[in-house]
Amino acid sequence: MDKFWNSLANLDRRWLFALTFLAISIPLLTGIVLPQKVTPMVENVFNAIDELPSGTKILMPLDYDPSAEGELQPMADAFIRHAAQKKHKLYFLTIWPTGVAMIQRQVATLKKEYPEYVYGEDYVNLGYRPGYEGVIKLITSDLPKLYGSDQQGTPVAKIPMMAGIDSIKQFPLIVNVSAGDPGLKQWVQYAATPFDSIEIVGGTTGVQASTLYPYIPNQMIGMIAGIKPAAEYEKLMFEKYPEIEKRPNSNMANVFMTSQEVAHFMLIAIIILGNVVMWQTGGRRDQS
Amino acid sequence: MKQSNVIWVVVMLLAGVYLSWRAVSYQAGAVYVAPKIVADADSGKSFTTWSKVPSVESSNPGVEISWPRTLGIWLSALFTLAIFSFLFGDNVVYKVAESIFVGSSAAYAMVVGFWSAFMGIFVAQLAPQFSQNTFMPGDDRTEPEWLMLIPLAMGIMFLWRLMPAGGWISRWPLAFFIAVFAGLRLVSHFEADFVVQIKSTILPLIVFAEDGAFDLKTSLWNSTMVLGTLCCLTYFFFSVEHTGVVGKISRVGIYLLMITFGVGFALTVMSRYSLLIGRMNFLLKDWLNLG
Amino acid sequence: MLKRTVPLIIASIVGIVLILAKFSPPIQSWETEVVMWFDILAVFAFVLGAGNLNLNNLKKISERKAGWGYAAITLLAFWITLICGIGKLGVPPNEQYLGYAWSGSFEAEGSAFWWIFNYVYVPLASTMFATLAFYISSAAFRAFRANNVEASLLLLTALVVLVSQTSSGPMLSDLIPEESTWAIFKIDTIRGVLVNLFNTLGTRAVMIGIALGVVSTSLKVLMGVDQSYLGGD
């Protein structure tokens, strides 16, 4: 028996890699979708967008890159679809260089699924500006100074929906999707905290999420922290707007959650097994 | 030939056969596009753009396979597998992929910064006629903004760091850069992460419901929040030795911080697995057309 | 004087303007201008980074150091991406200004730069971080041990939150009736307490500590006490 525990203690990690691969791939191939239970935080974020009057101006900074796409793309898609269902006016911008491409994907989704949305009247892509949190600081007082033109180079003075926009204080809601710094934390620090008129909800990675909870609810209404809350958000969307469920890739978070479920239970089993091995072997490992 | 090498060669051959079969039989990795013609009657110019369509529409009129994009999908899959090969150990394929990543990511940031900021703000304001005649025809500025010469001068001084002599001049814009960061963060952190956080922690320890009854749940919640935060702060307070009462409070603080780190770990696990699921989804569905 | 004193004076003046602007509306226009220049200077930081990348890799190649081949590949990838992006290769003109060849967006779908981003950069960046999942599994088996009270607390919390992040965990605990006294042991309730209470209070304490650290470090920089950013003489 000792030999068994010792061999486990010296298990080649590639077996664990193979187990992880199987735990992720097999559920993806089956296509099974599990039911989700909606939590109060996700409901708050949903209501923050849903309860706004139709046609409200929403600022949508998309501050993430392809390395976080697997986790953030489903929630970004859900936010866009939700805002478009409510016919809100969408103002895209980003403070990450790679955010430009992420905005492009959302614009492509809008064009495809909401052809009635007109560029310049219903949505605008202001693009990227360098300067990290300096960008946020500047646009809280003078947005046209930094964003004199949109991503295409069209002067903002010629874009109908930019008429009268002097600063982001005029936006009732900011919906930020962010993967790190600068991101949701900086939007809370520089926009939501100093100015009571600015409300913010966010979508963020699980890595960053635990550091943002202290901002809720006084500085931030709520956030979608990772793929599970994103799946809950999709569920709320399907309940309120059933036609969205038929669209391609509209339930990506729910599809991913099945693999996530298996992976979590696999990890729990691995952790418990690791501890059992430790107790059985007294913490000894073959150093050779 | 070593046994492990023989096994690898056999595995690679089998994988090659399987991938060829998927590509031919199931159009693995194939991307279909539909044309859109944009024409301007005044200038007589027109051009065609191509947009991706789902594979179910591949038989629609006008839709054709895009070889550059199909090649791109296969290249993406090979790059993905190249990075995953690091799981077996450092190797040439991984290092090549990593080198390409470093080079392309640096250039990507530069290109975005160049067109979005340098040309879009800088050149557009300093040389409006030139920008209107080339890349920003919709702009209607007439007079240059001469104040832009100041950041231009600072930028040139910044880049002088790369020169063999006189690199010290880059300290001036660097000092400006650091000072702006320091000034912005001093105020923002003090307001958002200190003052407001303390304000959020000042909660009533004894709470009564609207009907006058003692609200045990909220009272317990608030008390834990206030006292727990104080315990954790005590752990970080190193001006007093952690012995006696202070030591015991600090101990409680450590335990509470361990709970915090446990939550952080669980959320991080979910995050990392999501990224892997995203890549596996690409490999299995977008590339191999499985599931 | 020019090498150390002038930069310190610049840092102090700029920092004081930014701090005072928070409390003094007449100075806010100065703050706006300063931050605008900062945003533009950030572009040059990209150029500096790229310049350093080129210098270091060229040096490696010319000195034939170990791994110089990879340095060559890095430079090749860099220049191909840069030329495709800055040259707007394959970019159609803006639909409203067809007569202006350079009016299109640099990341237009179908262009060479777009192709490089979607089929070279995206898979490489995504997969770099995706491999961490494998290492988490491996590390969880080897290193995540309940050796003492603190580690046990961390482990237990992590396990509870992991279960709560699934579908089956909350569904199973929903079998406990809401009115029952055992309802406080529902996984959702426990998760709520762990995340919204304990995680918040711990993170808040860390946040307050970091804020004080940022304030003191910033003041040291602005007052010229910390001169490390200037380097040596």
The answer to whether the Cβ–Cβ distance between A20 and B284 falls below 8 Å is: no
Q: Name the CA radius of gyration of chain B, rounded.
A: 31
The answer to whether the Cβ–Cβ distance between B271 and A190 falls below 8 Å is: no
State whether A15 and A50 are in the same domain.
Answer: no
State whether A212 and A81 are in the same domain.
Answer: yes
pLDDT at A60: 97
State whether A224 and A274 are in the same domain.
Answer: no
Q: Encoding tokens for residue A87?
A: 């016919």
Residue B255 covered by a domain: yes
Report d(CA A223, CA A82) in Å as an integer: 15
Q: Does B193 touch chain A (CB under 8 A)?
A: yes
CA angle, B93 as apex, B92 and B94 as ends, to 5°? 90
Q: Are B173 and C41 in contact (CB under 8 A)?
A: yes
State the average pLDDT over residues C170-189: 84
State whether A142 and A79 are in the same domain.
Answer: yes
Q: Does residue A249 register a pLDDT over 70? A: yes
Residue B42 covered by a domain: yes
Residue B153 covered by a domain: no
Report d(CA B19, CA B143) in Å as an integer: 60
pLDDT at A97: 92
Report d(CA C54, CA B108) in Å as an integer: 14
Residue A266 covered by a domain: yes
Amino acid occupying residue C202:
G
Measured in angstroms, the CA of A118 and the nearest CA of chain C are apart by 14
State whether B6 and B38 are in the same domain.
Answer: no
The interface residues of chain C toward chain B in range 105-134, judged by CB-CB distance below 8 A, are 106-110, 113, 115-134
Which of C23, C30, C134, C193 would best serve as a mutation to test chain A binding (most A beta carbons within 10 A)? C134
Say which CATH number the domain at A204 has. Answer: 3.40.50
Lowest mean pLDDT among A57-71, A272-286, C95-109: A272-286
Residue A214 CB neighbour total at 10 angstroms: 27
Residues of chain B in contact with residue C169, where contact means CB-CB under 8 angstroms, are: none
pLDDT tens-digit readout, B18-73: 888 888 888 888 899 988 888 776 777 778 888 888 888 888 888 999 999 999 99
Lowest mean pLDDT among A1-10, A78-87, B111-120: A1-10
Looking at chain C, which subunits does it touch, using at least 3 CB pairs closer than 8 Å as the criterion? A, B
pLDDT at B223: 96
pLDDT at C174: 83
Which residues form the domain of B57? Answer: 32-65
State whether A104 and A222 are in the same domain.
Answer: yes
Q: Does A275 touch chain C (CB under 8 A)?
A: yes
Measured in angstroms, the CA of C185 and the nearest CA of chain B are apart by 14
| A209: helix, strand or coil | helix
State whether B9 and B44 are in the same domain.
Answer: no
Q: Does B68 touch chain C (CB under 8 A)?
A: yes
Q: Encoding tokens for residue C202?
A: 């711990």
Q: Are B192 and A216 in contact (CB under 8 A)?
A: no
Q: Does residue B266 register a pLDDT over 50? A: yes
State whether B1 and B51 are in the same domain.
Answer: no
- Domains in chain A, number: 2
Q: Name the CA radius of gyration of chain C, rounded.
A: 27
Which of C41, C75, C134, C167 would best serve as a mutation to test chain B binding (most B beta carbons within 10 A)? C41
Taking the alpha carbons of B116, B119, B123, B128 in that order, is the dihedral positive or negative? negative
Q: Does residue A285 register a pLDDT over 60? A: no
Q: What own/partner pairs with CB < 8 Å and gap ≥ 24 does A103-110 have?
A: A103/A62, A103/A127, A103/A151, A104/C107, A104/C109, A105/A73, A106/A60, A106/A62, A106/A76, A106/A77, A106/A80, A108/B51, A108/C109, A109/A77, A109/A80, A109/A81, A110/A80, A110/A84
State whether A220 and A269 are in the same domain.
Answer: no
Residue B44 covered by a domain: yes
* C36 closest CB neighbour out of A145, A214, A266: A145
pLDDT tens-digit readout, B145-187: 888 888 889 888 888 888 878 788 888 998 998 999 999 999 9
Which of A26, A137, A189, A252 would best serve as a mutation to test chain B binding (most B beta carbons within 10 A)? A189
State whether B253 and B237 are in the same domain.
Answer: yes
Question: How many residues does this entry show for chain A?
Answer: 288
User: Would you call the peptide bond into A182 cis, given omega within 30 degrees of 0 as the criterion?
Assistant: yes
Lowest mean pLDDT among A43-52, C116-125, C165-174: C165-174
State the average pLDDT over residues A265-275: 93
State the average pLDDT over residues B123-135: 89
Contacts of C82 (CB under 8 A, 6+ apart): B107, B110, B111, C50
Which residues form the domain of A179? Answer: 40-250
Q: Does residue A232 register a pLDDT over 90? A: yes
What does the DSSP 8-state code read for residue C92?
Answer: P
Residue A286 covered by a domain: no
State whether A26 and A120 are in the same domain.
Answer: no
State the average pLDDT over residues C200-218: 95
pLDDT tens-digit readout, A146-189: 898 888 888 888 899 999 999 999 999 999 999 999 999 999 99
Residues of chain C in contact with residue B269, where contact means CB-CB under 8 angstroms, are: 136, 158, 162
Residue A287 covered by a domain: no
State whether A27 and A106 are in the same domain.
Answer: no
Residue A263 covered by a domain: yes
- Domains in chain B, number: 3
Question: What's the whole-number average pLDDT of chain B?
Answer: 90
Domain segments of chain C: what residues? 1-86, 88-143, 146-225
Supply the pTM of this predicted model: 0.92
Contacts of A4 (CB under 8 A, 6+ apart): none
Among the candidates B40, B65, B90, a domain finishes at B65
Q: Are A253 and A74 in contact (CB under 8 A)?
A: yes
pLDDT at A288: 42
Residues of chain B in contact with residue C154, where contact means CB-CB under 8 angstroms, are: 258-259, 261-262, 265
Reported as a pLDDT band with limits 50, 70 and 90, residue C232 is: low
State whether A50 and A67 are in the same domain.
Answer: yes
What is the percent of chain A where pLDDT is above 70?
98
For the CA atoms of C225, C229, C232, C233, the dihedral, rounded to the nearest 10 degrees, stands at: -80
State whether A178 and A221 are in the same domain.
Answer: yes
The answer to whether the Cβ–Cβ distance between A31 and B291 falls below 8 Å is: yes
pLDDT tens-digit readout, B72-98: 999 999 999 999 999 988 999 999 999
| C3: helix, strand or coil | coil
Q: Encoding tokens for residue A77?
A: 């898609």
Reported as a pLDDT band with limits 50, 70 and 90, residue A11 is: confident
